[in-house]
Structure 1
Amino acid sequence: MNRNWVFVLLAGLVEILWVIGLKHASNTWEWLGTALAIVASFFLIIESAKRLPVGTVYAVFTGIGTAGTVGTEMLLFGEPFKLIKVLLIGVLLAGVIGLKLVTADNAEQNGEVSR
């Protein structure tokens, strides 16, 4: 996996933090942490999108964020478990993984070595 896809993965994981922060932040420090997470997440996604297909990057980023946020809400914050919700998240993740597998990054298309 090249560095740009690692950036997408990290951006998606940080997205989970800031989305949860938007819902649960209750003091200045928590709001500051949420704002910093937003900045970090968007910095990472912008950097990766400079070298990877934007549509695929965005789909992977939002898929990670959506699945992670729903899972975290269920596991940590008492959101009710609904089988249909979990199945639909699975369909979403299958689509995201499929997009990643069929999309070559620019370095691979140009015959360059990934960093």
Structure 2
Amino acid sequence: MNIQWVKVFFAAFFEVFWVIGLKHADSFLEWSGTAISIYISFYMLIAAGKYLPVGTVYAVFVGLGTTGTVLSEIILFNEPLHATKLVLILILLIGVIGLKLVTKEEVNEEANS
């Protein structure tokens, strides 16, 4: 797997934290963690976007972040679990995986470092 896609994955991982933080943070420490998560998330996204197609990178980032956020709300904050939500998340993930699979990557030695 290309290191740039790993950066996209980590950007989406930290997106989940900052999105949850925007809703639930109520102390200085929690807001600090939210700000740090925003920085890491966008730093990784921008870094990957320099070498990968930006449209695909953004779609994968948002799709993974959305999935992670919805699942976190269900698991951590007792958001109601509906079969419809799970089906829609599955459709979203299928679309994200499909975009990733059809995106041609240029061979660039600099991109793998």
User: TM tier, shorter chain?
Assistant: over 0.9
Over aligned residues, Cα RMSD in angstroms? 1.4
1:106 Cα deviation from its structure 2 partner:
2.5
- Give the aligned partner of residue 102 of structure 2: 102
Quick one: distance in 1 between partners of 2:75 and 2:53? 33
Quick one: distance in 2 between partners of 1:106 and 1:97? 18
Task: Kindly provide the CA deviation profile for residues 61-92 of structure 1, in whole angstroms up to 9, marking residues without a partner as x.
Answer: 00010000000100111000011011001100
Unpaired segments ≥5 residues, structure 1: none
Q: How does 1:1-115 map to 2 (within 5 A)?
A: 1-107=1-107, 115=112
Aligned-residue identity in percent:
55
SS of structure 2 residue aligned to 1:105:
coil
The aligned length equals 112
Whichever residue aligns with residue 60 of structure 1, its letter is V
Unpaired segments ≥5 residues, structure 2: none
Whichever residue aligns with residue 6 of structure 1, its letter is V
SS of structure 2 residue aligned to 1:106:
coil
Q: TM-score, normalised by structure 2?
A: 0.94
Q: TM-score, normalised by structure 1?
A: 0.93
